[in-house]
Structure 1
Amino acid sequence: MAQPSVVTGGKPGGTGGPGPAAPAVHYTHRQILEILSGLMMAMLTAMISTSVVGTALPTIVGDLGGQDQLSWVAAATMLTMTASTPLWGKLSDIFGRKLMFQSALLIFVLASVGAGLSQNMGELIAARAVQGLGVGGLSALAQVILGDVVPPRERGRYSGYMGAVFGVATVAGPLLGGFIVDADGLGWRWCFYVCIPLAVVAFAVIQKVLKLPKIKRNTSLDLFGAFTITGAAALLMLVLTLGDKEFEWNSPWTYGLSAGAVVLLALSVLAERLAKDPILPPRLFRNPTFVLTSIASLLVGVVLFGSMIYLPQYLQIVKGMSPTASGLMTLPMVLGMFVTSTVSGQLVTRTGRWKIYPVVGLLFVAGAMYLLSQLHVDSSRTVIGVDVAVLGFGLGLVMQILILAAQNSADLTDLAAITSGVSFFRNLGSAIGVAAFGAILNNRLKDEVAEGMAAAHIRPQGDGELSLGTPEAIHDLPEPLKGIILNGFTSALETVFMVGIPVAVAAFLVMLFVKELPLRGARAAADGPAPAGRHSRGAEPRPATATATAPAAVASVPAGPPATPQGGAPISGRVTSGDGTPVAGAALTLIDVGGHQLGRALTREDGGYTLATPGPGTYVLIAATGEHEPQAATLVVGDRPVDFDLLLAGNGGLAGVVHAPGGAPIEGAMVVVTDVRGEVVGTVRTGSDGTYLVKDVTAGAYTLAVSAPAFRPAALPVEIPGNGQLRQDVELPPGAKVRGVIRNRAGQAVADARVTLIDAAGNVVAATVTGPDGEYAFGDLTGGQYTVTATGYPPVAAALSLTDGDSDGNDLVLGHPDE
């Protein structure tokens, strides 16, 4: 297999925290599909392992015993998977994506073997907990690796396949579990063994096809942050997964675990602010796209797992289907997810627009929850199939697009953190959905059955607690008790699905506020977002998009005797910048008029290149590099070699020096560039020499605003020319300062005296209150005439004239006048 070509994007070096991005590795479509196949196999094994055990639990308990520990078998995996998700992203920054992904696969395989060999419930629960660690790594790092391999603009069509895998695993798990348990000669232990061969194959595929560059990263693991983040997540997951099972909601366990989660959450915020290389950098939470997509992912997780866990209960208990038949009834949902996820992925790649799909998808999800809430005992299988298909349509439009949107909004250095962060919130939402919907179902079922039994004059047996057996046992009950329970279960599920409607609507409203950032192409993905995204505080990042330019030139070469006996005539030439300097390392792509890639090359040190063509015809040559604007040219190739030079203009940028009136540079001055609409397009601070550089600013009119402590701010209009380069120095006048002390007639300092500064026009410029030492101060003032007044005793006023400098010793004396 051909090795992928490497083009360095951004600064060399690469770190785990903010800073230079990793080199961009360019893969062919075939190579991407090979990598994707390994990721999909790993994802399939991970997701099946979480659902395959559900069907086998009754058999497992009958073999190993430990009915009181039943809830831990499923909870252990969910607990460790959710809690460890953020850590895998950080570990991949330190040790590399490939190594960590394969480590997660190895952990998963060893834990699966351990689960299959378990001799008691304690061993099984421990193995399932370790298995959850591997699943957390696989689910998070698969998306991170896809983000490394494919630029956001092209990622849609591939991420659609990942979403389809999720749906297939959801259905395949229970089906496979039921088949294994029922099959002669297998038994429940093969529920854990069956995933191992697929995981081994995935390991080998990733080893062969995934060739990421080795980058030395000067970073370290945030141990305090790791402890507090995983601890808070673990305690919260314990409450959600074991509440109302191992202990009551209203119990000391619930309050104690919740309080511990809150304390660790507060400590994790402190840890991440103090850490050199935080696991979840606080800057991510200043990124509106990350925050909103995380909230939407959490809400989608609530609806997704809340519905997918309890829908089979309706099919098995109310409709009397077997586990295998109930799994088959969810196939329309899988097909819906597959169709919409793949089609929307293709459309995202073609158009670069993505927001419409999760917005429409969440409307489908809300509609599906309403349709499911209308199911009753006599609902036909056709109606059920249509309802779950609508749910699949909606989920296919949402799940992968949310991760794509979050990845597109951040720098490549934050790719792992932002991906694992969104995955963490989705897993957390899943646990919330299972717990919340389960509590609603149980409470409503008790009430409905109690009311039905009272209406039928049936007295409950025992202590009155409702204890339902297996679906077969329920259907063997005599009438009218059977009808009461089935109707009660249907009414309870109606409430569950009705609760899912406002959750889906809330996710829909959240998505309306997400700003649709253009998907970055290959160059922008390597460079990362524009400086606004990296440096601005509170402003949404604005990605540097690869501009699709019109063909720059047409070169026509007449036909003649063939110069190349094999293949078409080559295209060669040089790529230079505006001043004639050769551009080395520029990525050249040759495509045909249908958009199919025919060849790729990198320019040499002298800017030269050579590209082969398949034969005579019309082609488009595209040149791109991180330091220049991309260019395209249409070439008509005949039978002779084509000599064609390309000129790359520099990226749009604004540079200059911020200095004081005497010419001294001002370090740390804040430079903000806004467009004509007032949107911030770039924010940087000046260096020690007072220089600043705002990259990726296209031609047009902007406002340049500069501020610094002890200087008056300045704002001036600037016009970026057509070549995209402008130098603009800014002089900041120093701000005048007024200081003084308020004393009484005895010479003692007067505290809490109100001091007011008034300009020559009588306007109040500033006001303050003196401290215990009687001092006051006003800063950043322009020159001119001012009046200072002080009150506390009868007011006193003093006039002063300021120039651009400090004015000290403006003391005032307060006291009652002599009688």
Structure 2
Amino acid sequence: MESKSTGSDVVSKNTTSYYDLSPRAVFATMAGAMLAMFMASLDQTIVGTAMPRIVSELHGFEHYSGVFTSYLIASTVVLPIAGKLSDIYGRKFFLLLGIIWFVIASVLCGASQSIIQLIAFRGLQGMGAGIMQVMVWSVIADLYPPAKRGRVMGLMGSVFGLSSVIGPLIGGYLTDGPGWRYAFYVNVPVGALATFIMVLFFPHIRPKKEEGFKIDYAGSLALVTTLVPFLLGLSMEGPAYPWTSPTILSLMAISLVSGFIFFRIESTASHPILPLQLFCNSVFSVSVVAAALSAVAMFGATLFIPLFVQSVLGSTATESGKILMPLTISLVITATISGHAISKFGKYKPFAVLGMVITTIGLYLVSMMSVTTTYETVITNAVILGIGLGAAMPVFSVSVQNAVKHQLVGTATSTLQLMRTVGGSLGVALFGSILANQFGPSFRQVISPEVFSKIPQTMLSRLNNPQTFLGAESFDQLESLFSHENIVNKMEFLGSVQQAAKIALSNSLHQVFIVATGIIFLATMLTLFLREIPLRETNHPEEVMKEIL
């Protein structure tokens, strides 16, 4: 490997590989990497809290989802490209690029004067976040051999947990205090500190480039045209654009054709952006598919459990948001313990299977909740779910990175992150569609004929939409909706409609959680086929195992 001096005495000028770094340099580098990851994950929760104020001031409620969609698409598309290039040109440049890019984009977001500007700048911010994400996980693989990597993966889980807990608090304080723009400006000092640490302590170690290497521009373009319309279609799907609408079908058709072209290009490219032979490795293929399936289930749980608490149990938005705190805390604690156990025992498969089994049980218990379920029961089920997700969280990163040559770590890691993101996006769209399609028929089935006969035909379309009944204030919304209708015993009538809606929502969410349980069960079955490869004790090239690709 080639090494370039950082000009600092902290990192030796003779350092030619990551396994030659001093413990001090390794510790400092990890601190900088964790700061970068903390900044990106914190930004998501802070911005989510600030969004109502943002759309109010920028007058862009109709583009509310676009602020998140542009970020998601940009951060996803850049993952495999950044991962591949870092395998060739080294991690330091791309990690610093991601941090600096993210900080500059954050400043632009804070300075936005319209919602359209904010959407565009959030896309730029997403690109920086995607680069940082894959670089941090790849740097962990560079600094720690697989036998020691589990505990570090577990610690990274605590970063996500901490950001999800304090993010809404910081977002609320900044939004109500100096203003929502500081929800973006807060990234500047954090990013500056992370940049300073990485410049000072992290050496620029550039792997030996493959002879005749050429960037796979055609494959990169085909990958972009595959992912962008696919993710855009998933994010747009809803009442305005159902699955069968020309817009969604056109986007999916473009994605399908581009995907076919992408695989044709990658199968013949001399240096593909995504080497298809990776999928011939059973450990890699089982891990990425299981990770994608678990992401589908996890996103379904975290999005729809608060909805159940707020709309079925009638709790406030604050109470429904708090339900995720015990899930997050149990996930973080279990992920940390699981990571340490993987490093201690040198095995990952038992934790994958155990985590998936507990997650399946947790989701099944969630699917059994109804209008009579207590708040305490929901918390118990959420904790069980968090324990399962946490136990499996470090596994797939460790198994994937342990199963490939070190020269392919960036590519393999970015593919894993890509599959997780796509799985999560697919889960959101799938479960949202199930909820919307199940609610109308269920509502008409549970409401009494007498009450149903009093509903004007003009109101039926509104009442068939679950959006009408979301939130603890749904009764007030119903009262406003029927304010001009002359109905005998109106308050009793409205109470009956609301109760029917709660039962219908409960039945519809039951279907959502049952499907999620089935998906996570498939992931559990898949982990049974996960091959156990002894974790390497070193990253030194001479010690790399023969059975990996």
Give the TM-score category using the shorter length: 0.7 to 0.9
Give runs of aligned pairs for residues 140-539 of structure 1, distance below 5 A: 140-181=134-175, 183=176, 185-218=177-210, 219-244=213-238, 247-455=241-449, 456-457=451-452, 458-459=454-455, 461-462=458-459, 464-465=461-462, 466=465, 467-468=467-468, 471-476=471-476, 477=478, 478-522=494-538, 525-527=540-542, 529-534=544-549
- Structure 1 residue 237, shift from structure 2 partner: 0.6
Partner Cα distance (1:496, 1:333) in 2: 19
Question: Residue by residue, what CA displacement relative to the aligned partner does 1:147-193 show, whole Å, maximum 9, x if unpaired?
Answer: 00100001111110112222333444444444444x2x333333323
Partner Cα distance (1:269, 1:217) in 2: 24
Partner Cα distance (1:470, 1:59) in 2: 20
TM-score normalized by structure 2? Answer: 0.88
1:43 to 21, 29, 37: 37
Partner Cα distance (1:427, 1:5) in 2: 38
Opposite residue 527 of structure 1, the aligned amino acid is: E
Question: Residue by residue, what CA displacement relative to the aligned partner does 1:403-449 show, whole Å, maximum 9, x if unpaired?
Answer: 11000001011111000011100111010011111111122223333
Opposite residue 541 of structure 2, the aligned amino acid is: A
Q: Is the contact between residue 75 and residue 129 of structure 2 (CA under 8 Å) also seen in structure 1?
A: yes
Question: 1:32 — aligned with what?
Answer: 26
Partner Cα distance (1:366, 1:28) in 2: 43
| Residue range with higher mean Cα deviation, 488-497 or 117-126 | 488-497
- Structure 1 residue 202, shift from structure 2 partner: 2.0
Partner Cα distance (1:110, 1:450) in 2: 52
Partner Cα distance (1:76, 1:371) in 2: 35
Partner Cα distance (2:436, 2:312) in 1: 15
Task: Tell me the matched-pair count.
Answer: 517
Q: Is the contact between residue 78 and residue 132 of structure 1 (CA under 8 Å) also seen in structure 2?
A: yes
Opposite residue 468 of structure 1, the aligned amino acid is: T
- Structure 1 residue 400, shift from structure 2 partner: 2.0
Partner Cα distance (1:454, 1:520) in 2: 65
User: 3-state DSSP class of the match of 2:205?
Assistant: coil
Question: Residue by residue, what CA displacement relative to the aligned partner does 1:768-819 show, whole Å, maximum 9, x if unpaired?
Answer: xxxxxxxxxxxxxxxxxxxxxxxxxxxxxxxxxxxxxxxxxxxxxxxxxxxx
User: 3-state DSSP class of the match of 1:471?
Assistant: coil
- Structure 1 residue 318, shift from structure 2 partner: 3.3
Q: 1:212 to 1:149 in 2, by over 3 A?
A: farther
Q: Which has the higher strand share?
A: 1
User: 3-state DSSP class of the match of 2:473?
Assistant: helix
Question: Residue by residue, what CA displacement relative to the aligned partner does 1:428-471 show, whole Å, maximum 9, x if unpaired?
Answer: 10100111111111222233333344543341544623242762
Q: Is the contact between residue 88 and residue 206 of structure 2 (CA under 8 Å) also seen in structure 1?
A: no
- Structure 1 residue 142, shift from structure 2 partner: 0.8
User: 3-state DSSP class of the match of 2:19?
Assistant: strand
- Superposition RMSD in Å: 2.4
Q: 1:63 to 1:320 in 2, by over 3 A?
A: farther
Question: Residue by residue, what CA displacement relative to the aligned partner does 1:314-333 show, whole Å, maximum 9, x if unpaired?
Answer: 23333444444433332222
Question: Residue by residue, what CA displacement relative to the aligned partner does 1:48-84 show, whole Å, maximum 9, x if unpaired?
Answer: 3234333433333322223332221221111111121
Q: Give identity over the alignment, percent.
A: 29
Question: Residue by residue, what CA displacement relative to the aligned partner does 1:502-523 show, whole Å, maximum 9, x if unpaired?
Answer: 1111111111111100001115
Partner Cα distance (2:44, 2:288) in 1: 22
Q: Is the contact between residue 87 and residue 409 of structure 2 (CA under 8 Å) also seen in structure 1?
A: no
Q: 1:271 to 1:246 in 2, by over 3 A?
A: farther
- Structure 1 residue 484, shift from structure 2 partner: 2.6
Partner Cα distance (2:337, 2:13) in 1: 29
Question: Residue by residue, what CA displacement relative to the aligned partner does 1:540-565 show, whole Å, maximum 9, x if unpaired?
Answer: xxxxxxxxxxxxxxxxxxxxxxxxxx
- Structure 1 residue 30, shift from structure 2 partner: 4.9
Q: 1:168 to 1:324 in 2, by over 3 A?
A: farther
- Structure 1 residue 531, shift from structure 2 partner: 4.2
Q: Is the contact between residue 317 and residue 471 of structure 2 (CA under 8 Å) also seen in structure 1?
A: no
Q: 1:259 to 1:487 in 2, by over 3 A?
A: same
Extract unaligned runs of 5+ from structure 1. Answer: 9-22, 535-819
Q: Which has the higher helix share?
A: 2
Opposite residue 501 of structure 2, the aligned amino acid is: I
Q: 1:484 to 1:53 in 2, by over 3 A?
A: farther
Partner Cα distance (2:542, 2:379) in 1: 46
Q: Is the contact between residue 93 and residue 204 of structure 2 (CA under 8 Å) also seen in structure 1?
A: no
Partner Cα distance (2:12, 2:374) in 1: 53
Partner Cα distance (2:166, 2:508) in 1: 27
Q: Is the contact between residue 174 and residue 327 of structure 1 (CA under 8 Å) also seen in structure 2?
A: no
Q: 1:160 to 1:193 in 2, by over 3 A?
A: same
Opposite residue 195 of structure 2, the aligned amino acid is: F
Opposite residue 188 of structure 1, the aligned amino acid is: W
Q: 1:110 to 1:320 in 2, by over 3 A?
A: farther
Opposite residue 473 of structure 1, the aligned amino acid is: E
Q: Is the contact between residue 94 and residue 220 of structure 1 (CA under 8 Å) also seen in structure 2?
A: no
Q: 1:192 to 1:493 in 2, by over 3 A?
A: farther
TM-score normalized by structure 1? Answer: 0.60
Q: 1:29 to 1:245 in 2, by over 3 A?
A: farther
The structure having more radius of gyration, on CA atoms, is 1
- Structure 1 residue 216, shift from structure 2 partner: 4.9
Question: 2:483 — aligned with what?
Answer: none
Q: 1:311 to 1:54 in 2, by over 3 A?
A: farther
Opposite residue 384 of structure 1, the aligned amino acid is: V
Say which structure, 1 or 2, has more relative contact order (CA 8 Å, 6+ apart). 2
Partner Cα distance (2:182, 2:275) in 1: 41
Q: Is the contact between residue 353 and residue 519 of structure 1 (CA under 8 Å) also seen in structure 2?
A: yes
Q: 1:394 to 1:180 in 2, by over 3 A?
A: same
Partner Cα distance (1:6, 1:503) in 2: 50
Question: 2:481 — aligned with what?
Answer: none
Partner Cα distance (1:146, 1:300) in 2: 22
Opposite residue 533 of structure 1, the aligned amino acid is: I
Opposite residue 91 of structure 2, the aligned amino acid is: R
Opposite residue 109 of structure 2, the aligned amino acid is: A
Structure 2 residue 128 is matched with structure 1 residue 131: no
Partner Cα distance (2:273, 2:248) in 1: 28
Question: Residue by residue, what CA displacement relative to the aligned partner does 1:188-247 show, whole Å, maximum 9, x if unpaired?
Answer: 333323333322222222222323524452433210010011210111111111112552
User: 3-state DSSP class of the match of 2:500?
Assistant: helix
Partner Cα distance (1:314, 1:528) in 2: 52
Partner Cα distance (2:416, 2:133) in 1: 11
User: 3-state DSSP class of the match of 1:479?
Assistant: helix
